[in-house]
Amino acid sequence: MADEGDFERVDAGASSTYPQQCSALRKNGHVMLKNRPCKIVEMSTSKTGKHGHAKVHLVGIDIFTGKKYEDVCPSTHNMDVPNVNRQDYQLVDIDDSYMSLMDDGGDTRDDLKVPEGDVGKDITTRFDQGDSIMVTVLKACGEELAIAVKTSTEK
């Protein structure tokens, strides 16, 4: 029988994905490829071969790094799909490349870095101009990234 201490290593990360049949996945949906949360950009299904299953060829872009991943799996098999949450925050301040963000409930958080690349430049430029901006944060599998910015309508 297993030692009681084994259960201490289990975390809530188990609920960061859920299984879905490969044939039920769709383009622009999400899937785990090589243990990374990806957005499906291409999908093709091969015909059933003489040994059984039709195969699904998936091409996905990592939602955090932009890296491309590919996989082939039988259409009847399950693939892990990440639980992807998207939330808008009001940008309050930028301090030492960390954003101070406020959600709809008025709670603030200061643990998210300004992303690198165009989105990060856009955030800092708009903030420096004094614009009131909203930052869209994508969260999946314990990772978070600001992926979009828009000027807030409320002043």
Residue 31's closest CA among 80, 86, 71, 84? Answer: 80
Which is nearest to 44 in space by CA: 56, 32, 26, 35? 56
Choose the most confident range, by mean pLDDT, from 12-16, 18-22, 49-53. Answer: 18-22
pLDDT tens, 32-79?
999 999 999 999 998 877 777 789 999 999 999 999 999 999 888 999
Q: Band of the pLDDT at 11, cuts 50, 70, 90?
A: very low
Q: In CATH, what class is 84-151?
A: mainly beta
Amino acid at 67: K
d(CA 8, CA 21): 31
pTM above 0.85, yes or no: no
Cα(111)–Cα(107) distance, integer angstroms: 13
Closest to 111 measured CA to CA, from 78, 144, 62, 85: 144
Domain coordinates of the chain in residue numbers?
17-82, 84-151
Q: What fold does the segment set 17-82 form as a domain?
A: SH3 type barrels. (2.30.30)
| pLDDT confidence of residue 144 | 93
pLDDT in tens, 82-110: 999 999 999 999 989 899 999 999 999 99
Whether residue 14 is predicted with pLDDT greater than 60 in this model: the reply is no
